[in-house]
Copies of this chain bind each other. A is one copy, B any other.
Amino acid sequence: MQITVLAGGVGGARFVRGLVHALAADPALGPDPSITVIGNTGDDITLVGLRVCPDLDTLLYTLGDGVDEDQGWGRAQESTRVSGELATLGVGPEWFTLGDLDLGTHLARSRWLAQGMTLSQVTARLADRWGLPARGVRLLPATDTPIETHVVVDDEDGGERAIHFQEWWVKHRAALPVRRFTVAGLAGATAAPHVLDAVRGADLVLLPPSNPVVSIGIILGVPGVREALRGTRAPVVGVSPLLGGRPVRGHADACLAPLGVEVSAAGVAGLYADFLDGWLVDDADAAARYPTGVQVRALDLLMRDQPGAARLARAALDLGRELRGTPAPVRRA
């Protein structure tokens, strides 16, 4: 059973961790179920000369049991001694937290990239450090081509200016009105090795409740990925990131509105309509109208904790099996 997941940061990482637990507890899946996670690189940023990949790092730390569980990103037991010194020296943006342990990752990644390794190779090395292969997880960046999401916002003179996505997201908490998103490098990017094959050859493709515009939307924008999703023999099952029209966390609403997309589970499904087979929505959204041909299942969508994430992953697995014509296993409550 080969499962491929397109993931953003916190929501994606928690869903994948739930998936790992759900698979471990599910004998119906046969031997060696394996998960390939295709991570978003659109919010990558270079800070103090170091390459930072927030979504890949959140996936690594979460799946490797090293994440700060309360905030959902960054390292547990983190400290900020280096960034305190950098602030004294007036270096680096004060709105982005560079923890000391996290800086170890960024320094190593930057060093390896400078030595000529690709982001895929770097990510594989980091995944080894975090024990992902032993958990049956392979982590791939969507692309090795450096891409960066920019947000075009109003400037003071009535014109517009582009700021880095992280500045908009972290510094301005997505509160600056958006004219449009642009992704530098995306049109000319190449899918990283194994990415397209992982979509085409999967038994099941899952979309966690990640941001449909700036996380999954970026992965879909890598040339070839959307076509692979349309062409794959595997069912594609997604989880709505919106519950009752609101994101559980993050700012999906602020990302959808500028696109003219309805801020709802149905609106997000519409973005995926050309390849989506199954769609998990919250009970609150059961009555909405969804794109034709998409099997919709309503349930309590909130991932309150790790068992909740595993329950959600199990629901996605079950819907996937149903779409493949294989009945879901009978489970004790």
Closest CB-CB distance, A112 to chain B, in whole Å? Answer: 8
Known contacts being A110-B49, A111-B49, A111-B91, is A104 close to B129, with CB within 8 Å? no
A81 CA to B191 CA, complexed, in Å: 35
- From residue 58 to 114 of chain A, which have CB atoms closer than 8 A to chain B? 79, 81-86, 88-89, 91, 100-101, 103-105, 107-108, 110-112, 114
Say how far A60's CB is from chain B's closest CB, in angstroms: 11
Interface of A is mostly: helix
Would you call A49 and B107 a contact (CB within 8 A)?
Answer: yes
Interface mask (A243-286 → B, CB under 8 Å = 1, otherwise 0): 00000000000000000000000000000000000000000000
For chain A, the bracket of interface size reads 20 to 34
Residues of B within 8 A of A50 (CB): 107
**Residues of B with C-beta under 8 A to A91:** 104, 107-108, 111-112
Contact A81 B100 (CB under 8 A): yes
Cross-chain contact A81 with B101 (CB below 8 angstroms): yes
- A48 an interface residue at 8 Å Cβ cutoff? yes
Closest to A86 in B: B104
Q: Are B111 and A82 in contact (CB under 8 A)?
A: no
Report the nearest B residue to A87, measured CB to CB.
B104
Does the CB pair A48–B88 fall under 8 Å? no
4 nearest CB pairs, A to B: A85-B104, A81-B100, A89-B108, A91-B108
A→B interface (CB under 8 Å): 48-50, 79, 81-86, 88-89, 91, 100-101, 103-105, 107-108, 110-112, 114, 125-126, 129
Could you give 28 example pairs across A and B, Cβ below 8 Å?
A: A48-B108, A49-B49, A49-B107, A49-B110, A50-B107, A79-B79, A79-B81, A81-B101, A82-B101, A82-B103, A82-B107, A83-B104, A84-B104, A85-B101, A85-B104, A85-B105, A85-B108, A86-B104, A86-B107, A89-B104, A89-B105, A89-B108, A89-B126, A89-B129, A91-B108, A91-B112, A100-B100, A103-B103
